[in-house]
Chain A
Amino acid sequence: MSPAALPPMTTRYTWRDFVQMALFTLLVKPFLTFCIGLRVRGAEHLPRTDPFLLIANHSSHLDTLALLSLFPLSRLRHIHPVAAADYFERNKVVSLITRTACNILPIARRDITTDNDPIPRMIACLQAGKSLILFPEGTRGSGAEMGPFRSGVARVLEHVPHVPVVPAYLVNMGRSLPKGEYIPVPFFCEVRLGVPQQVQGNRHEVMQALEGAVRQLAGESSA
């Protein structure tokens, strides 16, 4: 299989996929272009095949939309942002929206049992050939400072070391729609993508490498 070709897709399009593509074309992409003004740096690092693991800093609900909007519409159904079930599936309406518009992979944050353990769930997803978007900070930060990365991502990668990890850094999302606000203020936001890496070493080394990669993107100026 040549690197440029997509892996054979066994899943067909469902009505949910069409709704997601329509939402992105008619609402999300115009919103991100005109209202927010999303700029992308390092677009050449965007992975062209599944599976991959995209990690980024987290400061806003806009983060997921911005990252998903980078991909061609046909690939959206294979990319699953990892999201906390207690928040993003808190009622039927929110659940319908997040599952349809974003194809989230819901995971438990508290009361973890062997049934709802997030790590095996994420591993299974990647092993099935799907891609994940993960925010290792675990929650939305202030946007100014990046919080410490949780180790879950290293535990996942232990079982799927062949999956490339793409570091990303999001700028100004937290200014536009911070935690606690519901209407975004128009700002120019930026997504900086880093070189995809294959992780090696023990858990600690992996976490250091990933956190370092994202921090390095943070340090670049937006020239």
Chain B
Amino acid sequence: MRTVFTQEQLGPVGQMGLIVLLVLLVLLLASVLVAILRRVRPHQDLTELVARVKSWWCMASLFFAIILANNTIALACFAFLTFWALKEYVTLLHTRPADHRSLLLAFCAIPMQYYWIGIDWYGMAIIFIPVYMFLILPAQLVLAQDTQGFVASASQMQWGLMAFVFGLSHLGLLLTLPLTAPVTVHGRTLLLFLVFVVEISDVLQYVWGKTLGRRKILPLVSPNKTWEGFIGGIASAVLCSLLMRFLTPFRIGETLLVALLITVAGFAGGAVMSAVKRDFGVKDFGQLIPGHGGMLDRVDSLCYAAPLFFHYVRYFYT
């Protein structure tokens, strides 16, 4: 079937319009299904589900508003998102009084990282946290002269910076990626593809898990993840990614492979963050998003998927 949705024919405005339309349809479908479910099963407690869908409407609208604005606004918003995520992580850590100044330094890394991205200094953005912050943070921590728990503090802060600041900043890197011709897509559309596929994979894993879930996949890490949810969710998300192919320069087979890569990476990210939560003894990272938890509960998959997707695209398309 020859589809009319090829990126050459659509142009940037058409691509944006189409993705907005598609996401709107998905959200409407979700709301309608929840409404039907409330009629059909009036005795079942669906408050969490209703809250989840409402939050999806809010998050999708906010995300589109941010993406469709100019790059500076989008990067500032991503910086705020990263700040909130790091704040949720740091709140759960066991911090010592001696860590105070180093934590400040870690938070200062956020605007700096997004500044490097904003001025298109890729080399700096990619080594700032893994090399410079990695070396500077423990050196600064030494000044507090509290060696009891030194390694734990330094490690946990660097891990947080890598996982959340460095990982999530790849969203900003993707947004500003200078793709080379003959590609006619923009970094922005690739970002939409990434976020859509990862989030739809989360949602579908949840749905498949809730309806058919039986055998737990990582029972000691995450009690809600099941094999049925994992396989069903990933497979259906990979198929859905074909709908979004117009946002990417990929061929059909490549789209499926890339989607598989990012959905599996997303699952790994979710599992890792679940393990982190278990370690801290909490159920959610925070309470920002009704029905979902904290900011990190929503972006944990992206922490893993974003860097892998970005570097794939950068390797093959720039």
Please report whether the interface of chain A is mostly helix, strand, loop or mixed according to DSSP. loop
Please report whether the interface of chain B is mostly helix, strand, loop or mixed according to DSSP. helix
List residues of A (163-186) whose CB comes within 8 Å of B's CBs: 172, 175, 178, 181, 183, 185-186
Complex Cα gap A178–B287 (Å): 25
Complex Cα gap A175–B97 (Å): 7
- Interface assignment of A39: CB less than 8 Å from any CB of chain B: yes
Closest to B95 in A: A175
In the bound complex, residues from chain A placing their C-beta under 8 Å from that of B90 are 185-187
Contact among A142, A178, A181, A188 for B91, CB-based, below 8 A? A188
B100 engages A185 (CB within 8 Å): yes
List residues of B (211-245) whose CB comes within 8 Å of A's CBs: none
List residues of B (94-110) whose CB comes within 8 Å of A's CBs: 95, 97, 100, 103-104, 107
Contact among A37, A39, A142, A183 for B104, CB-based, below 8 A? A183
Q: Given A185-B100, A185-B104, A185-B107, does the pair A39, B91 have CB atoms closer than 8 Å?
A: no
In the bound complex, residues from chain B placing their C-beta under 8 Å from that of A142 are 97
Closest to B107 in A: A186
- Interface assignment of B88: CB less than 8 Å from any CB of chain A: yes
In the bound complex, residues from chain B placing their C-beta under 8 Å from that of A37 are 84, 87, 91
Task: Give the number of chain B interface residues (Cβ < 8 Å).
Answer: 16
Contact among B104, B107, B283, B286 for A188, CB-based, below 8 A? B286
- Interface assignment of B150: CB less than 8 Å from any CB of chain A: no
Q: Given A39-B287, A175-B95, does the pair A186, B100 have CB atoms closer than 8 Å?
A: no
Complex Cα gap A37–B83 (Å): 11
A186 engages B97 (CB within 8 Å): no
Complex Cα gap A187–B91 (Å): 5
Most buried by B among A37, A39, A188, A223: A188
29 contacts between A and B (CB under 8 A): A37-B84, A37-B87, A37-B91, A39-B287, A142-B97, A172-B91, A175-B95, A178-B97, A178-B100, A181-B100, A183-B104, A185-B90, A185-B100, A185-B103, A185-B104, A185-B107, A186-B83, A186-B86, A186-B87, A186-B90, A186-B107, A187-B87, A187-B90, A187-B91, A188-B87, A188-B88, A188-B91, A188-B286, A223-B283
